[in-house]
Structure formats: C-alpha cells, structure tokens
Amino acid sequence: SPGRAMMGIMPPHIYERGPVGIVSRSGTLGYEAASQLKEIGIGVSTSVGIGGDPINGSSFLDHLKRFEADDETEAIVMIGEIGGLQEAQAAQYARDHMHKPVVGYIAGLTAPKGRTMGHAGAIVSTVGESAAEKVKLMRECGVKVVKLPSDFGTTVPKVLRR
C-alpha cells in the first residue's frame, strides 16, 4: 500500500496512493498498471502480486473480497493469465457479490494448449483455462476486460467516471 507499507520486490517510484486496488498473477503487468495509473494522476490503494504458480498463498477471490470491503478502494484491476480457474471464480464472485467495478486482463491469448509458458502455473490443460475462455467468461460476468496491458490507463478512469 503506497505510503504505508511495501513488501516483496516492487519498484516504489511507480506507486502513488489512490483509489485503485491491483491484484495480479504477473508482477511485471501489475507494475505496468500502477505506472500507467500514476502517469494520469490515479493512484493505488493496494497492489498485490499473487504469483502464477498453481498453489498460491492467496487468491484473486481473497483480494476481491478485501477490495470490496475497503473504503479506500473504488475500482479493481485484476490481471490473470492462462492456466487454472482462479480468474473464472473471481469473475463469478464479482458478478454475484461486488458493487465496485473490475477491470481485467488475461495474458496468454496466443499460448498453445498443453505447453508451459514461463512457470508451472501457466499451462492450459483443461476446459476453462485458456485466455480466450477466461476473457469470455469475465466479460459475461461484467468485468471490463482490456485487450492490451497498455489499455489500463484509458479504461480505469472510465470505470471510475473520471
């Protein structure tokens, strides 16, 4: 949380305190979102990198619940990738239980099925784990999905109505 605490490996100069919660399986893409938001004068309430391995210490769902309950968070950026079902579960939770807008991105649209991409968690092995399937479900659940990471800076202000 900018101005309060930094844990892990995060470049502090890209974070400014503000109303957007970020939860990401990719550290680098989480940094990209924070950097774009800072460039346009929007800061971050908390940024969490949950990692891309199959077993995490926390999940998208855990952090969506926290962001929904946090008075300082007005919108959420959720960055996922191929493999696993966390993004689908989080999108369904957002649809059924959240009032705050969620902007999403899924890395790996061109990833071939069955091939590990970068780390153990990034592999499409079953139905629902491909980037295209996740994007489709997220959109059906009301998540505003951006096509490219470079779209965070233009999309987040719209959901914040700024």
So which residues are the catalytic ones?
A: 119
Do the bridges between strand 102-107 and strand 75-81 make them parallel or antiparallel, or are there none, so unpaired?
parallel
Question: For residue 65, what are its two tokens?
Answer: 């619940």
Task: Give strand ranges (E) for 29-68.
Answer: 44-49
Q: Is residue 132 within 8 Å of 140, Cβ to Cβ?
A: no
> Which residue(s) pair with 78 in the sheet?
23, 104
Q: Is residue 45 within 8 Å of 70, Cβ to Cβ?
A: yes
